[in-house]
Structure 1
């Protein structure tokens, strides 16, 4: 049986680092300054939501509210069918309400 030995590796740590001292600051000429670094960015105004976003959010929230509420109230297999139907109705209603709200505010 032969044993193979891996080579030993050493890490050299300077004495000032070992004594928990801060590293010296980098030389001043090491980093270049670019004119792009001095530019201040102006925050942009958020764009308002579009009609599709309003109606999509309204339909999804209406579908969840009506579907979950109806499904929880009817805890039988029939409750699943009623929950799906109520979710579809709630989605359509939420879509219509969101469209009306968008038209009134814009």
Structure 2
């Protein structure tokens, strides 16, 4: 585990990568990604590390971070509704609460 101060850039460290082609050996590839402080206040769902050329870890490594996004515009119910019937023969019928 890496030790760093809270004010420094957060780091992600990965374990050794085992290759399926060479059964008895491990390729020691230390991976360190600087991700900044922008993810501190976000709810992170998944962190994935992948390699562009996965054959014996020869390619560049990338980190993918999936997090929840709060919509900027909250839903507002204006009281108007619409029903859509797609039909079975490529015809589509629409009706709204206003009658049209």
Q: What is the TM-score when the length of structure 2 is the normalising length?
A: 0.23
Report 1 or 2 for greater relative contact order, CA contacts < 8 Å, sequence distance ≥ 6.
1
The structure whose residues are more often helix, as a share, is: 1
The structure whose residues are more often strand, as a share, is: 2
Which structure's CA Rg is the greater one?
1
